[in-house]
Amino acid sequence: MKWLQDQPAWIRWPIYALLGILLLTIVQSISDTERLTATPTSREMLRWAVPIFLAGLGGLFSERAGVVNIGLEGMLILGMWFGAWGSIEYGPWIGLAIGMAGGALGGFLHAIATVTFGVDHIISGVAINILAPAITRYLSDELWDSPTTSPSTESVGDWDVPVLAGGSLFGWESPDVLLTIANWEWWFLSDVAALTRGLLRGTHWVAIIAILLVPATSWLLWRTRFGLRLRISGENPSAGAAQGINIIRYKYVAVIISGALAGLGGAFISTELSGLFQGGNSAGRGFIGLAALIFGNWRPGGVLLGALLFGYVFGLDLKDLDGTASHALLLVNTIVLIGVAAWAITRKRKADAILATILGALAFIWWVAAEAVPNWWSNILPYVLVLLVLVFFAQRLRMPAALGQPFRKGDS
Amino acid sequence: MRRFLFAAAAPVGALAVTLVITSIALILFGSNPLEAYGDMLSHASKLETQVDILNRATPYYLSAVAAAIGFRMNLFNIGVEGQYLFALLIAAQVGSLVALPQVFHILLIMTVAMAVGAAYAGIAGVLKVTRGVNEVISTIMLNSIAISGLIALLQQRWQAEQENFTSTTLGTNPIDESGLMPNINGLLEIFTRDIGQGKELTGVLLVAVLVGVAYHLLLTRMRFGFDLRASGLNPFAARAGGVPPKQMIVAAMCLSGAVAGLIGMVELADTGKFSPNPIKGLGFGGIAVALLGRNHPGGMVLSALLFAFLDVSSGILQNTEAATKEIVNIMQGIVLLVAVVAYGVTKRIQTREEARATAEALRSSEPAEVLA
């Protein structure tokens, strides 16, 4: 473990991913399901993860600048509507941009309330979450004669990676190497190929942009002057102001970027996933993005990991009509919880160890007792997962030091 | 007087700003705002509409008190929505299983609803004090867990137990007449003419009044309410003063959830069961009502009536086609956002005025006194 922790990120993360797949493969080999490592599962995982990640990344910008953003859900909903409208009126790419603008508008409102007028961040966020769906219902009703549904929208489309996943390259139909490997049905290797193929075939352009935002954000926030100043606004605004930094402006920019990213996530839901705007389609992904942000300890890579984890559970549920895959997931839960218990023992955290063991035992008993789990359980599993993650790791997380605190010009 | 003007200026100003913004929105889409507002007001002047408004304001008020109990100590119970729906389901099921004399039957149902709401909200409180989980996130997750999980599960299970299952029997089994809160039309008719159109004024209104009075007494007359406000204003000072912070958090969450459990009683008195599509959004609406009413027992009455009036007005706008009915939701959202901003502004002005008044008072007194 020590060796692994010393490796650079580009070695560490693929190894973690392979270990995760290994766990899934082992569990799958003693279960009645093949969906844990199937191509559609990872495909759905990515489709769910993208809006969650974009909302979470939006939260990262805002919270790194010290502004709690619970209004992400509302901004995502604004993005859903404006993205659909833009796509219908001006075509798909401009639609995405308009969706971002819609979300940014929500961010701007949040910034006015919290930064300029010093309104409590959570109260302002709640207000935006109430206002945003009302705006979309009104506009939909006026423009499309239905408060909840739009005509169908145009999508920017997706892409099959050539050679690995059989995409075409300058008109040449390349081989589908990962499909070939997946069809060999070799233990573990084929599972890895099948899951990877789900990420590389039919990959939405927006998903590719979203993944690229991880290094882009890391660079912007930790390698540029702009990023340093943005983070000072969230860590110690008075010190920043004393150095002559315009804290108010940085907070505004951060919250507006935050809204734009959540808006992009919303536009992705309406134009790329559903093909139309539909009220309630956000399914709380703005809130889950917030959970991914906390899970990811306010770091871009962590947010992506959280989004993929929650996306995996949602995606698995979608293709799991008979409940066998969710049943196998119980065993995965058991093993992970035992791992958490072991980790807690090495850290001398007795309460955590006991709690993890009890929960792990419950999951195991359920796994033994039932053949399949009912669908209500898979519906709530992602939310339960969020709670469990917070229960075990909330105290280890480090949020920006001045998060949620009001700042006024002259406070220094 | 000055204090009252300060308190009233912000919401009145917010309402004015909201009217301006919605008028612009209406004109942009070719509606006449004056006609729309006129229709809304003339509709609301009818007795039957007023009954509808009271029936709607009742759950909003209960929901607002539930949220306000948390807000008073800086606890954000965003989970009122899940708490009341879950409480409604369990209370409806328990109520359908027993047959008791009326008073006991109704009390049993209400007690169950409050207990379930308290227990469900209590989870978030316990997670906060034992594991440091932020209650905003946990109550949001508990909302989703209640709405898409537990309710779906229990409803399916109880559905399967029903004999002669048809589409009209969807939901839990109906509760006996004895378990339904009677209407209080008679009480209102003392002051007015007879209520027509078969409208019934919900008896839960009286419960809401009691809850409001209890909330007022809690904050002004009781030790617990004092501790609650003290913890909200300055948790460290409160702790130094002997208020146990952890117990206070759990107790406040439970109390908030218990009041949330009562929200569904209005619907239960009306339908007599947990219907497959219960009215949703009262939990989030209640948060808005509490914020607009500044967590004040009287202020929340006004804001609950305003929100209920807007809800009920959507029907008449649809009939007269003076404007798109969704405009009322916009008005609710905007008035909330503008009001919270306005409260922020008045608070700053007030602090500044106080600082100036103190400075002047100090200046006019003897220097020696100031130094001493």
Cα–Cα–Cα angle for A205, A209, A213, rounded to 5 degrees: 165
Residue B357 lies in a domain: no
Contacts of B156 in chain A (CB under 8 A): 376
Q: How many CB pairs under 8 A join A and B?
A: 132
User: Which residues share a beta bridge with B61?
Assistant: none
Distances (CA, A) of A308 to A62, A280, A293, A326, A380: 21, 22, 12, 17, 17
Nearest to B80 by CA among B344, B257, B299, B326: B257
Q: Point out the domain boundary residue: A296, A318, A340.
A: A318
Check whether residue A147 and residue A252 sit in a common domain: yes
Residue A145 lies in a domain: yes
Contacts of B341 in chain A (CB under 8 A): 112-113, 117, 119
Residue A167 lies in a domain: no
φ, ψ dihedrals at B90, nearest 5° = -65, -45
pLDDT value at A158 more than 50: yes
Check whether residue A238 and residue A213 sit in a common domain: yes
Q: Which residue has the higher pLDDT, A160 or A84?
A: A84
Residue B227 lies in a domain: yes
- Percentages (nearest 5) of helix, strand, coil residues in chain A: 75, 5, 25
C-alpha torsion sign, points A240, A241, A243, A246: positive
Predicted pLDDT of residue B163: 64
Q: Where are the beta strands (DSSP E) in B26-76?
A: none
Percent of chain B with pLDDT over 70: 94
Nearest to A316 by CA among A6, A44, A19, A122: A44
> Residue A113 and residue B152: Cβ atoms within 8 Å?
no
Q: For residue B268, what are the contacts with CB-CB under 8 A and spacing of at least 6?
A: B88, B91, B92, B95, B109, B175, B180, B181, B274
Check whether residue A24 and residue A56 sit in a common domain: no
Distances (CA, A) of B156 to A317, B85, B159, B172, B298: 19, 15, 5, 9, 41
Contacts of B332 in chain A (CB under 8 A): 130, 134
CA–centroid distance for A71 within its chain: 16
> Residue A134 and residue B344: Cβ atoms within 8 Å?
no
Q: For residue A392, what are the contacts with CB-CB under 8 A and spacing of at least 6?
A: A340, A344, A352, A355, A356, B131
Nearest to B176 by CA among B84, B101, B122: B101
Check whether residue A232 and residue A345 sit in a common domain: no
User: Which two three-digit tokens encode residue A63?
Assistant: 């919270």
Residue A179 lies in a domain: no
How far is Cα B207 from Cα B266, in angstroms, rounded to an integer? Answer: 10
Most A CBs within 10 Å, among B63, B71, B85, B137, to test the A interface: B137
Residue A171 lies in a domain: no
Q: Is the ipTM above a cut-off of 0.90?
A: no
Predicted pLDDT of residue B372: 44
> Residue A380 and residue B144: Cβ atoms within 8 Å?
yes
User: Which two three-digit tokens encode residue A91?
Assistant: 């075509």
Q: Which residue has the higher pLDDT, A135 or B185?
A: A135
pLDDT value at A406 more than 90: no
Q: Is B63 exposed, middle or buried (0-12, 13-18, 19+ CB in 10 A)?
A: buried
Residue B274 lies in a domain: yes
Check whether residue A21 and residue A66 sit in a common domain: no
The answer to whether A122 faces chain B, any CB pair under 8 Å, is yes
DSSP string, A341-355: HHHHHHTT-HHHHHH
Among chain B residues, the shortest Cα distance to A127 is held by B337
Residue B111 lies in a domain: yes
How far is Cα A401 from Cα A270, in angstroms, rounded to an integer? Answer: 36
Residue B208 lies in a domain: yes
Residue B10 lies in a domain: no
Contacts of A117 in chain B (CB under 8 A): 341, 344-345
Percent of chain B with pLDDT over 90: 36
The answer to whether A403 faces chain B, any CB pair under 8 Å, is no
Contacts of A374 in chain B (CB under 8 A): 153
Residue B363 lies in a domain: no
Check whether residue A255 and residue A270 sit in a common domain: yes
Cα–Cα–Cα angle for B267, B268, B272, rounded to 5 degrees: 125
Check whether residue A282 and residue A335 sit in a common domain: no
Predicted pLDDT of residue A412: 47
Q: Mean pLDDT, chain A, as a whole number?
A: 88
Identity of the residue in B138, B333, B341 whose CB atom sits nearest the CB atom of A117 = B341
Check whether residue A139 and residue A152 sit in a common domain: yes
The domain total for chain B is 1
Helix/strand/coil for A403: coil
Percent of chain A with pLDDT over 90: 40
The answer to whether A25 faces chain B, any CB pair under 8 Å, is no
Residue A308 lies in a domain: yes
Check whether residue A84 and residue A221 sit in a common domain: yes
- Summarised one tens digit per residue, pLDDT across range A260-309 is 999 999 999 999 888 889 888 888 889 889 888 988 889 999 999 999 99
- Domain enclosing residue B173, as ranges: 32-323
Q: Point out the domain boundary residue: A285, A318, A351.
A: A318
Nearest to A41 by CA among A191, A212, A168: A191
The answer to whether A18 faces chain B, any CB pair under 8 Å, is no
Predicted pLDDT of residue B366: 58
Predicted pLDDT of residue A27: 86
- Summarised one tens digit per residue, pLDDT across range A375-385 is 778 778 888 88
Residue B362 lies in a domain: no
Among chain B residues, the shortest Cα distance to A73 is held by B140
The enclosing H or E element of B95 equals: helix B80-97
Cα–Cα–Cα angle for A201, A202, A203, rounded to 5 degrees: 90
- Summarised one tens digit per residue, pLDDT across range B102-137 is 889 999 999 999 999 999 999 999 999 988 888 888
Q: B245: which DSSP letter?
A: H
The owner of tokens 């033994």 is: A368
User: Which residues share a beta bridge with A278?
Assistant: A149
φ, ψ dihedrals at A38, nearest 5° = -85, 155
Q: Do A232 and A248 form a contact (C-beta atoms < 8 A)? A: no
- Domain enclosing residue A260, as ranges: 39-160+202-318
Check whether residue A299 and residue A385 sit in a common domain: no
pLDDT value at A404 more than 70: yes
Identity of the residue in A120, A387, A395 whose CB atom sits nearest the CB atom of B141 = A387
The domain total for chain A is 2
pTM of the model: 0.90
Residue A338 lies in a domain: yes
Residue A393 lies in a domain: yes
Identity of the residue in A113, A376, A384 whose CB atom sits nearest the CB atom of B340 = A113
> Residue B76 and residue A122: Cβ atoms within 8 Å?
yes
Check whether residue A84 and residue A153 sit in a common domain: yes
Among chain B residues, the shortest Cα distance to A111 is held by B341
Contacts of A135 in chain B (CB under 8 A): 330, 333
- Summarised one tens digit per residue, pLDDT across range A182-193 is 888 777 888 888
Predicted pLDDT of residue B168: 60
How far is Cα A80 from Cα A76, in angstroms, rounded to an integer? Answer: 6
State how far residue B287 is from chain A, nearest Cα, in angstroms: 8
Q: Point out the domain boundary residue: A303, A318, A333.
A: A318
Q: Do A78 and A263 form a contact (C-beta atoms < 8 A)? A: yes
Residue spans of chain B under pLDDT 70 = 1-2, 159-170, 365-372
> Residue A127 and residue B325: Cβ atoms within 8 Å?
no
Contacts of B326 in chain A (CB under 8 A): 134, 137-138, 140-141, 147
Check whether residue A45 and residue A64 sit in a common domain: yes
The answer to whether A117 faces chain B, any CB pair under 8 Å, is yes
Q: Kindly report the CATH number assigned to the domain that includes residue B229.
A: 1.10.3470
Residue A408 lies in a domain: no
Q: Is B361 exposed, middle or buried (0-12, 13-18, 19+ CB in 10 A)?
A: exposed
